[in-house]
Structure 1
Amino acid sequence: MAFTICYAGFRSGFFTIDHIHTVKQLIEKCHEYNRPLAVTFIDYEKVFDSIEHWAVFHALYHYDLDSLVENFNDLQRTLQQLYDACMWVGLKMNMSKTKVMANIYNVTNPSATVGSEMLEIVDLKTRLYNQCVLPTMTWTLTQEAVYRMRVAQRTMERVMLGIKLIDRVTNDQIRSRTKVKDVGNRITKLNWS
């Protein structure tokens, strides 16, 4: 069976870095044109122990799966087709590690179910904020400094969502959409102030 150039894994002369660059460009263009985007990261259970790679390629080629879809309904349909194709060759998705990363231009409460399990939808900006920015904002602080940190945090959340002060969106509404952890509560919880 001849494979197209889109299959880079386990092939001489093909590199996954090219595909990572393509995904990065896709993310940038969707952001530039305010288009919805959901990227799915799929993990398989014991993939190297349980199956021949040619069988996976054959299943993907046989089912002719879409790699780009327009909405969460199409995403769910495509993921279900991929799940069925993989089950056909004896490959099982690890649902606890399979994630969907969505941008802010998607629907309010996106969801995707594969088989009988709901996939976790991850917002990249929130995850980066909670893991990279928030830890650097916590040290011994006065009440005034904690207040200033909260103001800075709210400003960052507005930037994450593309909301301006003139839009008159409350901080509670913004926090419910970003789901970031409050810096003041984190400082109090860690007793660093």
Structure 2
Amino acid sequence: MAENLQDLQQMLNDLADSSMRIGLRMNLDKTKVMFNEHVLPEPIAVCGAVLGIVPKYVYLGQTLQLGRNNFESEVNGRVRLGWAAFGKLRQVFTSSIPQCLKTKVFNQCVLPVMTLTARLVHKLKVAQRAMERAMLGVSLRDRIKNEVIRQRTKVIDIAHRISKLKWQWAGHISRRTDNRWGKRVLEWRPHLGKRSVGRPQARWSDDLRKMAGRSWMRTAENRNRWRAIGEAYVQQWTNMG
């Protein structure tokens, strides 16, 4: 990450030179450049090869994108991956084995971890309910309430799962004292620029701050206090949608 093209070019050159000195080489076919709205895109070259410019890319299984629709594309991708995983195991989910075994497989293979907004959580819940109906061999035309289906499948509600994981991860990062990037990024505040005009896009920590206060990272240092607040945090997302 760099604030201008000159710094970015220098960083890439240094990385390429350091790699070659120890016998490694950058994979230039997989190395891409992404610009935000404040920079005019210009060609960036490494070892004579011009790097491709992309509006988004997938890193460690997660879609990275700048702009207002970054979470939307990530959720859509996660839903597609969820259905792909479900399709590979469809014979297991629709077989006559006990429902408790199907539930264990479903909870391990299908539930993703996502950033939370009300709209995106609703979209994930819709996908999960569709998978549950497919597991039981029922359709919307059967007019069976979601509560009844959940009692039969006993799967973990996706909003409960992802909100609990997010709360635990936020507390874990906040308690770190080794100056790793995770905590430094959460505490970082840009010194230049303003948020775009219009309704501000939700930040990753907005829901944490709403539940635990502005000093939520300091609150997280107390494990018992953080765990107690987390129960209410998880419940509010579980009840949504």
> TM-score, length-normalised on structure 1?
0.36
Which of 1 and 2 has greater Rg? 2
